């Protein structure tokens, strides 16, 4: 099968990223861009981000997760510890986060190291989830093979009945991860494919930034 995609082209002209307009703190620029995306009517799920890990099979893999908070400079998301990504992060703490907001012609790539958050922090977040999502965490042995959709529905029914009339407990196999950034790369689309790329890197005590060729 062959498909020609040469005709799919776009001109990027919405904004620019100039050194004189940015500071030395990548978190300030991140928050500014995040707020811009929140305010844009065409951006859906502004907190959706690609999480890239190195799998146990040696291959990189990216999937979408949701940023839930930034605490002490660490980017926090929640998932099943026994999932494929959970096992990957247990084996290799180096990960990448990627935000893409096409309506703004902007991307942010964050490299960092990951670790689990405390049980107390996971519990606090878990209590904010809708009850259906809490039960769903119990019903899915994430990344394992299932016989069909019916098996998932049966699991959901089982745990819905099991926890009827009581608070749904936090599973031992579910909780949060926090990513401590070591670099931020901000990408702004520009005409003629001469995009703006500004890379911030940490030396352990401060941030330095430089421009990269597109």
- Looking at the predicted structure, is the pLDDT value of residue 205 above 90? no
- Looking at the predicted structure, is the pLDDT value of residue 28 above 90? yes
Apex 83 CA angle, 64 and 167, nearest 5: 95
Quote the pLDDT of residue 10: 86
Residue 172 has φ and ψ, to the nearest 5°, of -65, -25
Quote the pLDDT of residue 130: 96
In this prediction, what percent of the chain has a pLDDT beyond 90?
91
Q: Are 97 and 51 in contact (CB under 8 A)?
A: yes
Question: Hunting for tokens 């500071």 — which residue is that?
Answer: 23
Domains of the chain listed by start with CATH number: 19-212 (2.30.110.10)
Whether the pTM exceeds 0.85: the reply is: yes
Query: Which residues have C-beta within 8 Å of that of residue 27, sequence separation ≥ 6?
Result: 70, 73
Quote the pLDDT of residue 112: 98
Q: What is the mean pLDDT of residues 62-78?
A: 98
Q: Which of 129, 131, 193, 211 is catalytic?
A: 193
- Looking at the predicted structure, is the pLDDT value of residue 6 above 90? no
* C-alpha span between 89 and 54 (Å, rounded): 8
Structure confidence by residue, pLDDT tens digits, 103-152 = 999 999 999 999 999 999 999 999 999 999 999 999 998 898 989 999 99
Q: Are 88 and 61 in contact (CB under 8 A)?
A: yes
Classify 141 as helix, strand or coil.
Answer: coil
- For residues 76, 94, 49, 7, the Cα torsion angle rounded to the nearest 10 degrees is 170
Nearest residue to 199 via CA among 89, 117, 65, 109: 109
Structure tokens at 113: 């190291």
| Annotation says 193 is catalytic | yes
Q: Sorting pLDDT into bands at 50, 70 and 90, what band is 9?
A: confident
Q: What is the mean pLDDT of residues 63-76?
A: 98
Quote the pLDDT of residue 8: 87
Contacts 24+ apart (CB under 8 A), 148-151: none
* Residue 45 Ramachandran class (φ > 0 left, ψ -120 to 50 alpha, else beta): left
Q: What is the mean pLDDT of residues 51-56?
A: 98
């Amino acid at each position: 099968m062959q498909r020609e995609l040469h005709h799919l082209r776009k001109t990027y002209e919405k904004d620019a990223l100039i050194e004189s307009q940015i500071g030395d703190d990548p978190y300030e620029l991140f928050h500014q861009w995040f707020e811009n995306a929140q305010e844009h009517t065409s951006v859906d799920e502004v907190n959706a981000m690609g999480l890239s890990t190195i799998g146990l099979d040696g291959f990189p893999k990216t999937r979408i997760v949701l940023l839930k908070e930034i605490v002490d400079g660490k980017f926090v998301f929640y998932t099943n510890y026994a999932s494929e990504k959970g096992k990957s992060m247990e084996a290799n703490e180096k990960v990448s986060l990627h935000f893409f907001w096409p309506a703004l012609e902007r991307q942010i790539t964050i490299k960092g190291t990951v670790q689990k958050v405390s049980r107390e922090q996971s519990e606090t977040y878990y209590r904010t989830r809708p009850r259906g999502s809490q039960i769903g965490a119990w019903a899915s042995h994430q990344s394992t093979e299932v016989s069909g959709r019916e098996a998932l529905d049966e699991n959901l029914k089982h745990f819905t009945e099991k926890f009827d009339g009581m608070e749904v407990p936090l599973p031992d196999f579910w909780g949060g991860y926090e990513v401590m950034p070591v670099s931020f790369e901000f990408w702004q689309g520009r005409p003629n494919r001469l995009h703006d790329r500004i890379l911030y890197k940490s030396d352990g005590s401060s941030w330095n930034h430089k421009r990269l060729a597109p």
